[in-house]
Chain A
């Protein structure tokens, strides 16, 4: 017998776990426009789940359906086993943090945070205590008596978070939570958000268009495009094993090659690409016919660049000329021209400190690009 697996951090792998939120073939139409197209989704307790996609992909509409501001045209949404279709927003066990923060401008910070508890008729002394606690958690004690317009962007963001969390919702919905902050504040807030989520154990559903944000924050990501999920998985799965060109291109950068399967062995496949002329040896078998048209995605950081020809094989190697170098300090980005005017992008860490300021690989130099048989990803769509 296999030993019992620990699923605490990965509840979606546990066959016995009951999803906390079930979205069942939900669609939303606005007139002729289909914003969300028959999607299914299971989200488990304690997850930090990201809906990732470009603008107009339907992620915000889905979030608004979870909050209750839109009703699905068809399908059902279950939260904690309860059908939410006819439940108005003010009776749902979820709270939302708005992209604009939507702080009530005529109330102080303290009253903003207390608003939800007052609506629930919580006793006064308890309100006092819970609001004070929440305000200290987001470190806004000295700002409690301020009005929203007297706060900076980061402070407003924390008020919005406190206001949404003080009711201890089962699920917190966050619409572009870091979108309005500048870069430095964003990175810092990202980790704060993760700590708070871990501390309170609330299920977070985050909508974002920022892939970096999604990668750092989430336990799982759903990549959305034109109202459908392209792929749902952990950040690693999505990045290392994308299931389509859309996903591979949306998450991080990828060099994309179009080609055909020319050999299909039990433990390997070989893909031949014509433009640029190149062969890919991939170290796993695929249930696919020889001759099928496929695409190969190759991440820039998985390609080695060197001036000497790599020792072994001719597959997974290509010769080219350095066209551009972007020196970023820790890493360098090279754009290498291969076989005509095809460009391949490579990111390479600058591990050695050079003896002088001249770069180890220079513009217009002949270089060899090579990669491991496990590095390339074969995509069929």
Chain B
């Protein structure tokens, strides 16, 4: 019985992993294909990587994407944190329920709608006040901030709700004015949540194709837009090479994060053991 179940479990596990990773393995495999036609194996080669690094288009798109992602993550973290704080810590205020519902709307709104409405806004603004004169970096960044900050606000909200308010009260009781409580106690304790929000915003922005393609203009091509437009002309090995590099970067990131978490866990277990031994 036990044996049987474990075979069943193992096969589902194997199937699941295969389902997730075979496409990626294929992608990596074909990025080293000498032949220009993707499904035909023409021998091992790294020439697509070399070509990739030589292509200014790819570099421009990558820098633009990283710039947008960084600026977006910073603004989204600040605005989202403020929104989360307002929702959880300011008690009841007029329109709180409405605000709290509206902040999570971008999470469920179809991206096409968000993209379309933002595009409309930018066009309307252009004709009304003359700004933005052209769509590109700034419009994409603004569009990304609008939905990223909703994610950050949700993360901050849940972290604040789990954080006992008595720490903030204790600080006040010891003579800290509200602003001081925020900088001394609330923000340091929120830091992990803010970091998580920053990283999530960064990835969301780097990942976004739909909204960006709505609000971008000529001359501003983000990496996803570049990949998508090239793929439309047919599968290309240089795009495979680019995707392989992205997979590598993500994998390294996950491994590092996992290692740090493991170390923290071990440290915590050690601390617990230490206090247990000292207690009379």
Chain A residues within 8 Å of B, Cβ to Cβ:
67-69, 88-91, 94-96, 98-100, 102-106, 115-116, 119-120, 149-152, 154-155, 163-164, 167
Contact = CB atoms under 8 A, between A and B. Distances in A.
Contact of B271 (A94, A98, A103, A150): A150
B167 A102 contact: yes
Given A67-B173, A98-B170, A104-B167, 6 more contacts: A100-B164, A106-B188, A115-B184, A150-B274, A152-B278, A152-B279
A95 B174 contact: yes
B159 to A, nearest CB: 13
B188 A90 contact: no
B94 interface: no
- Of the listed residues A90, A96, A98, A99, the one surrounded by the most CB atoms of chain B closer than 10 A to its CB is A90
Given A90-B176, A102-B169, A151 B164 contact: no
A309 to B, nearest CB: 53
Which 7 A-B residue pairs are closest in the complex by CB-CB distance? A116-B174, A119-B175, A102-B170, A152-B279, A102-B166, A89-B172, A150-B271
B173 to A, nearest CB: 5
B268 A163 contact: no
B88 interface: no
Interface string B162-191: 001011011111111100100011001100
Nearest to B163: A105
A89 B170 CA distance: 9
A152 B275 contact: yes
B268 A167 contact: no
24 contacts: A68-B173, A88-B172, A90-B175, A95-B173, A96-B170, A96-B173, A102-B164, A103-B170, A104-B167, A104-B170, A104-B171, A105-B167, A105-B189, A106-B188, A115-B171, A115-B174, A119-B174, A150-B271, A150-B275, A152-B278, A155-B275, A163-B170, A164-B174, A167-B174
A149 B189 CA distance: 14
A106 B189 contact: yes
Contacts of B180: 119
Nearest to A67: B173
Contacts of A90: 172-177
A90 B180 CA distance: 11
- Of the listed residues A68, A106, A163, the one surrounded by the most CB atoms of chain B closer than 10 A to its CB is A106
Interface of B: 164, 166-167, 169-177, 180, 184-185, 188-189, 268, 271, 274-276, 278-279
A115 B274 CA distance: 26
A170 B268 CA distance: 38
Contacts of A103: 170
A171 to B, nearest CB: 12
A91 B173 CA distance: 8
Contacts of A68: 172-173
B169 A98 contact: yes
Nearest to B175: A119
B166 A149 contact: no
Contacts of B276: 152
Nearest to A99: B166
B268 A89 contact: no
B173 A89 contact: yes
Contacts of A94: 173
A104 B169 contact: no
- Of the listed residues A68, A102, A163, the one surrounded by the most CB atoms of chain B closer than 10 A to its CB is A102
Contacts of A163: 170, 174
Contacts of B167: 102, 104-105
B274 A119 contact: no
Contacts of A151: 275
Nearest to B169: A69
Contacts of B176: 90, 115, 119
Nearest to A95: B173
Nearest to A113: B174
A332 B24 CA distance: 77
A151 B177 CA distance: 28
A90 B171 CA distance: 8
A68 B169 CA distance: 10
- Of the listed residues B164, B176, B180, the one surrounded by the most CB atoms of chain A closer than 10 A to its CB is B176
Contacts of A116: 174-175
Contacts of B189: 105-106
A96 B173 CA distance: 7
Nearest to B274: A150
A104 B185 contact: yes
Nearest to B275: A152
B11 to A, nearest CB: 42
Contact of A149 (B164, B169, B174, B268): B268
Contacts of B174: 90, 95, 115-116, 119, 163-164, 167
Contacts of A155: 275
A67 B189 CA distance: 24
A104 B173 CA distance: 13
A149 B265 CA distance: 13
Nearest to A152: B279
Nearest to A98: B166
A88 to B, nearest CB: 7
Nearest to A116: B174
B166 A89 contact: no
A149 B271 contact: yes
Nearest to A153: B279
Contacts of B164: 100, 102
B208 to A, nearest CB: 34
A94 B268 CA distance: 35
A109 to B, nearest CB: 13
A104 B279 CA distance: 21
A89 B279 contact: no
Contacts of A106: 188-189
Contacts of A104: 167, 170-171, 185
